Amino acid sequence: MNWDLQGLPGSARTALLSLFVVALAYLIGRLGRQIVTTQLGALVRRTSSRWDDAVVKAVARRAPFWSLLVGIYVAAGFWILPPNIATTLDKGLYVIAAASLTFLASEVLVNLVRIHGPTIDPTLPTTTITENLIRIVVVTLGLLVILNGLGLYITPILTALGVGGIAVALALQDTLANLFAGFYLTVGKQIRIGNYIRLSSGEEGYLVDIDWRASRLRQLSNNTVLVPNAKLSQSIITNYHLPDHELAVVIEASVDYASDLDRVETITTDVARDVMRTVPGGVPGFEPFVRYHTFGDPGIGFSVILRAQEFVDQHLIKHEFVKRLHRRFASEGIAIPLKALVQRHDAPPPSPQ
């Protein structure tokens, strides 16, 4: 096939050459992405750190776009453009390139905090609000750099933003209250991601995330409860994971007045030890104990104290302990009293008045 470009008008030849340069630049970018992914990817996979993997992936993903920008810049040099159009094109390419680098820095820093944040301080988890704050700071700095590169004076803009920020703060009081409350909850360390908590208003569940407006609790029923950060920070909270995940499991019971209390205590403690050893979630090294506390109407009341490794483990522990204690009492002939409102079948009828 004969490509006779000499017979074409100059503008057509320039257009074809520009398209060729742009396409070639894009293909080089695709090739560069492949090289970065394979060669640098294999190199960083041999290192112990994980943040460099995120950097390589982010750079490889943007390589064709950056190469395309370079191709457009080179192709624009083939044209004789009016000064205002050439200046606008240069500034547009500068803004796009700077914005791309800003988002790259934001993504890398978020991944860096997400990976190494728990290593630096295990009590300071990475939440949605911390990631968003990092993005806001990086994007703001990038925007200031872009404005400065465009020759715009930043000081008047900052002054206008400061005055307008007061009006915005007054209009968004609730939103800002939730934002700062979420930041306080994150850095305060009283509650942490993964903790099982119960609010004074009755909501309870695992703390899944804290974002700019609300905190998410995942209930045992696998439902999600959204609690505004300001409400959560003002609520009375019971944290079942602090200072330790283990917690006491108290089970109330009672026996007949005719029972031998020493024997009841021995049998109950023996059953509780067996539950601690065999039931998943029990603490095998814990020594259960019994405390009598009430001369009640149905019988003598007592508490059995066991221990669970996790909040949710207490349900299975109670389930197995009640079954095994009931079976053991029945085999040992220990009577469990009925409620006061329920008469025994062998009880004499009340005498007439």
Which of 245, 199, 195 lies closest to 226 in space, CA to CA? 199
Contact 71, 19 (CB under 8 A): no
Q: What is the pLDDT of residue 126?
A: 67
Q: What is the pLDDT of residue 348?
A: 45
Contact 258, 323 (CB under 8 A): no
Q: What is the pLDDT of residue 245?
A: 87
Q: What is the pLDDT of residue 89?
A: 86
Q: What is the pLDDT of residue 255?
A: 93
Q: What is the pLDDT of residue 142?
A: 85
Angle between helices 128-149 and 173-188 (to 10 degrees): 120
Q: What is the pLDDT of residue 1?
A: 40
Burial class (CB in 10 A: 0-12, 13-18, 19+), 327: exposed
Alpha helices in the chain (DSSP H): 10-35, 41-45, 51-76, 83-120, 128-149, 154-171, 173-188, 229-234, 261-278, 313-332
Strand order of the β-sheet with 300-308 is 247-255, 300-308, 289-295
Q: pLDDT tens for the chain, 353 residues: list them.
A: 444 555 556 677 778 888 888 888 889 888 888 887 777 767 666 666 666 677 777 888 888 888 888 888 888 888 888 888 888 888 888 889 888 888 888 888 887 777 766 555 555 566 777 777 888 888 888 888 888 777 777 666 666 666 566 655 555 567 778 777 887 887 777 888 888 999 988 888 999 888 888 889 999 888 999 999 888 888 899 998 888 888 999 999 999 998 999 999 999 999 999 999 999 999 998 999 999 999 988 899 999 999 999 988 999 999 999 999 999 999 999 988 876 334 334 444 444 44
Q: For the chain, give every residue range classified as CATH 2.30.30.60.
A: 178-239
CA distance 167 to 164: 5
41, 43, 52, 111, 115 from 48: Cα distances, Å: 13, 11, 10, 16, 12
What is the fold of 178-239?
SH3 type barrels. (2.30.30)
Helix (H, G, I), strand (E, B) or coil at 342: coil
In eight-state DSSP terms, residue 279 is S
CATH of domain 247-332: 3.30.70.100
Q: For the chain, give every residue range classified as CATH 3.30.70.100.
A: 247-332
Q: What is the pLDDT of residue 119?
A: 59
